[in-house]
Structure 1
């Protein structure tokens, strides 16, 4: 029930109508007894500063951030160490003002709290694969793509002591930042690296609804020794996942990562363990209702 004390949370980005975040965020708030309401808010880069001003003055609970705002937001707001390292923000959080370095004229202050940017993508990815029994420690990994989500995943894989991270990207020049985030175990790779890998991760939009590109490479190299993670959430079964399962590999989509990165954010917002099972069931119910 909405009350005079209800705090606002949600997700910002564009386009945003397809977002699952309000579904599992509202389910989590209800389960935890948190007086908050999550909404999807369509927002363009040009309106970010206005949004931050309103968010600060209205004492929001917290917000998730999706494309195309992640990089721009990192340049406008103070950030956690991991968001600084990734140069991308996917969550707005409140912290004690004395916990972060903020300029004297920093605008996004409310009382003794500062609104800053965080990035939960990497942690969400690691939680999601551990949930299905995949521990990245010691694994050889191939990552397709070098954008914001890829950088978060590569950094997290490095921290979890993967054995090697092979980064395959259309533009090697654009992948250099991702390689640095992975540390000594990361390198620019090629399709041939799939054969020796245990975990394959797609962070590109190939296979997403509305993307006309087709998955035409490496299909014969995937076999039953691989786990394939396609972080796309729409469609639920992607062309890469179909290739993987037809070759005997285990394949999962990006819904698990989405829910787990959202759980990390919620835990920061409310100081309680996120009810993962409740969040999952809310998303499952949503998809079941959409089915004919």
Structure 2
């Protein structure tokens, strides 16, 4: 990579970011496409998020991805947010267009694309989503508009998934349900971990592996 005075800077804001593969993937893509661009992982503490967002403008970054724990808190710091991201209540991509910062959410589309790439269909399936944050909202937004038989939501903070379920049931025809006890889920066809569990080696599993069988699809 030849970084010079004309190199355009992009990156990702999160905390922690030491585990992320985003720089490797994006910089490889830039090289392959012959683009004079550079992607950097910025470890941004929650208290520093407002200053980091201002820096996107002042340093003229093309834009940044947003990850845990900033996807929701970044919204009031932006100039505009598109309709899907507003519904999801979370932003994972910020584009700097002539000094105007606009937030988007591509998590749901990325999730659905990865399922299609793996030739996994959600049609007629019982799907469990663990977590009620930004990633969960994005994924459930698309799944609730599909042909899944049941969409089950669980979070240790029930209020998070209660609001999400209410929003989804208003805006879609699918039945979305809440789980009060994750141990009473039976054996869902697809289990999605949309929590931060797994970022650290010492983290516990989000649920008992006994709920899995040889046909279960697990998405982390």
- In structure 2, the CA distance between the partners of 1:42 and 1:206, relative to structure 1 (3 Å rule), is closer
Which residue number corresponds to residue 16 of structure 2? 15
Contact kept, 8 Å, 1:74 with 1:83, in 2: the verdict is no
Please report the TM-score for the alignment, with normalisation by the length of structure 2.
0.85
- Over 3 Å counting, the alpha-carbon distance change for 1:121 and 1:211 in structure 2 is farther
RMSD of Structure 2 on Structure 1 (CA): 2.1
Residues of 2 paired with 1:87 and 1:149: CA distance? 10
Aligned pair partner of 2:118 in 122, 129, 132: 132
Greater relative contact order, per chain length (Cα 8 Å cut-off, separation 6+):
1
Superposition pairs of residues 132-211 of structure 1, within 5 angstroms:
132-183=118-169, 184-189=174-179, 190=181, 191-195=183-187, 197-211=188-202
d(CA) in 1 for partners of 2:147 and 2:168? Answer: 10
1:91 and 2:77 aligned: no
Question: Cα–Cα, structure 1 residues 194 and 154, in superposed 2: closer, same or farther, change >3 Å?
Answer: farther
Runs (4 or more) in structure 1 with deviation over 6 Å come to: none
Alignment check: 8 A CA contact 2:91 2:105 kept = yes
Report the Cα offset of residue 50 of structure 1: 2.5
The TM-score, its normalising length taken from structure 1, stands at: 0.66
**Unmatched 5+ residue regions in structure 1?**
96-108, 232-292
Greater helix share, structure number: 1
- The DSSP-based 3-state class of the residue aligned with 2:81 is coil
Which of these residues, 112, 115, 136, is aligned with residue 101 of structure 2? Answer: 115
- SS of equivalent to 1:115: strand
Q: CA deviation at 1:135?
A: 2.0
Unaligned runs of 5+ in 2: none
Q: Report the CA distance between 1:210 and its aligned residue.
A: 4.2
User: Aligned-pair distance for 1:171?
Assistant: 2.8
Conserved 8 A contact 2:130-2:153: yes
Assess if the C-alpha contact under 8 Å between 1:80 and 1:117 holds in 2: yes
Using the TM superposition, give the Cα deviation of residue 17 of structure 1 relative to its aligned residue in structure 2, in angstroms: 2.2
Q: How does 1:1-292 map to 2 (within 5 A)?
A: 1-77=2-78, 78-94=80-96, 110=99, 114-183=100-169, 184-189=174-179, 190=181, 191-195=183-187, 197-214=188-205, 217=208, 219-229=209-219, 231=220
Instruction: Name 1:288's counterpart in structure 2.
Output: none
Determine the C-alpha separation between the residues in 1 that align with 2:44 and 2:207: 34
